[in-house]
């Protein structure tokens, strides 16, 4: 089995990521290679002694990327209820989570908390350097997950999956994050949006607003898929009939 790095090496980081991606790409979950690269870079930038929190781990696809990229002195807390009452098959995802992390020899680098994020938040008292949100996509859950912003250090990173793709996530981003003075939009990889815990600028707010056409495109693609109108989706650049845009 290929070796998985215990800490990021700037000289071989790209090669290490490619090696790891070949192992984790078959894991269940929705993550592109570009998004994996953004997660890797964000985790590698967390200073020694820092903390990463992931909300929504599913089968550990993104968890493995974060765990492999971070320095050995960084902590990673993965939060997921793995509750079949919450989502069908989620209890099976717990088994896959454990098996997948062991496959890439990263299980001992991850602290798993099996609970809803809002329940963990009530007793949380540690500063966070990188917050990755990929939990439930309904507006109420997204707003609750964003409550973790209170613990992100100034200058810390916040990554939100399914941004400008899921209606629930996007509604909260434009309704809560855009006018907020705590987060600065810095770009996206597909639906993985990146923010910095810093005062937004006029340019960053305009850049975020500029994603609206892409969001509308994604909604049209989703409607086309459900109406079995894949030719329409293909006209908009979506070629995989199995998945919504992510």
Which residues 6+ apart lie within 8 Å of 238 measured at CB?
Answer: 221, 225, 245
In a domain, 227, yes or no: yes
Q: Are residues 57 and 133 in the same domain?
A: yes
State how many domains the chain has.
2
Can you spell out the DSSP letters for the chain? -PPPPSS--TTTHHHHHHHHHHHHTTSSS---HHHHHHHHHHHHTSPTT-EEEEE--TTSHHHHHHHHHS-TT-EEEEE----TTTSTTHHHHHHHHHHHHHHTT-GGG-EEE-S-HHHHHTT----EEEEEE-S--SHHHHHHHGGGGGGEEEEEEEEETTTTTSHHHHHHIIIIITT-SSEEEEEEETTEEEEEES---HHHHHHHHTTHHHHHHHHHHHHHHHTT-HHHHHHTT---TTS---
User: Could you give the dihedral angle defined by the CA atoms of residues 133, 134, 137 and 142, in that order, rounded to the nearest 10 degrees?
Assistant: -10
> What pLDDT does residue 201 have?
97
Closest CA to 243 of 28, 12, 17, 20: 28
Q: Are residues 188 and 244 in the same domain?
A: no
In a domain, 2, yes or no: no
What pLDDT, in 10s, does the model give residues 208-246? Answer: 999 999 999 999 999 999 999 999 989 999 988 888 889
CB 218 within 8 A of CB 165: yes
Closest CA to 79 of 52, 109, 40: 52
Q: Are residues 223 and 169 in the same domain?
A: no
Domain extent for 129: 13-210
Q: Are residues 132 and 229 in the same domain?
A: no
Q: Are residues 58 and 78 in the same domain?
A: yes
Give the separation between CA 164 and CA 169, rounded to whole angstroms. 7
Q: Are residues 62 and 178 in the same domain?
A: yes
Q: Are residues 26 and 90 in the same domain?
A: yes
Q: What is the pLDDT along the chain (246 residues), one digit of tens a residue?
A: 444 444 444 445 778 999 999 999 999 889 999 999 999 999 999 999 999 999 999 999 999 999 999 998 999 999 999 877 665 556 688 999 999 999 999 999 999 999 999 999 999 999 999 999 999 999 999 999 999 999 999 999 999 999 999 999 999 999 999 999 999 999 999 999 999 999 999 999 999 999 999 999 999 999 999 999 999 989 999 988 888 889
In a domain, 93, yes or no: yes
In a domain, 184, yes or no: yes
Alpha carbon distance, N-terminus to C-terminus of the chain: 30
In a domain, 176, yes or no: yes
In a domain, 3, yes or no: no
In a domain, 61, yes or no: yes
Q: Are residues 202 and 240 in the same domain?
A: no
What pLDDT, in 10s, does the model give residues 178-196? Answer: 999 999 999 999 999 999 9
> What pLDDT does residue 64 have?
97
Encoded tokens for 164: 């400008």
In a domain, 159, yes or no: yes
Q: Are residues 96 and 63 in the same domain?
A: yes
Domain CATH code at residue 146: 3.40.50.150
């Amino acid at each position: 089995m290929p070796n998985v790095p215990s800490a990021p090496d700037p000289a071989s980081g790209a090669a290490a990521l490619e090696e790891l991606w070949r192992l984790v790409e078959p894991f269940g979950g929705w993550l592109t290679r570009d998004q994996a690269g953004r997660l890797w870079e964000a985790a590698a930038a967390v200073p020694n002694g820092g903390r990463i929190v992931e909300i929504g781990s599913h089968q550990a696809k993104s968890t493995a990327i974060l765990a492999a990229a971070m320095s050995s002195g960084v902590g990673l807390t993965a939060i997921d209820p793995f509750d079949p009452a919450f989502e069908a098959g989620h209890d099976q995802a717990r088994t896959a989570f454990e098996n997948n992390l062991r496959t890439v020899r990263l299980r001992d680098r991850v602290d798993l908390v099996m609970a809803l994020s809002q329940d963990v938040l009530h007793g949380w008292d540690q500063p966070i350097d990188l917050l990755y949100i990929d939990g439930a996509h309904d507006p109420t859950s997204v707003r609750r997950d964003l409550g973790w912003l209170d613990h992100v250090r100034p200058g810390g990173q916040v990554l939100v999956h399914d941004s400008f793709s899921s209606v629930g996530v996007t509604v909260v981003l434009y309704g809560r994050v855009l006018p907020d003075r705590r987060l600065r939009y810095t770009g996206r990889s597909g639906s993985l949006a990146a923010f910095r815990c810093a005062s937004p600028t006029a340019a960053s707010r305009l850049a975020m607003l500029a994603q609206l056409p892409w969001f509308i495109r994604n909604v049209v693609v989703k409607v086309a898929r459900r109406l079995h109108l894949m030719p329409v989706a293909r006209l908009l650049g979506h070629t995989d009939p199995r998945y919504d845009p992510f």
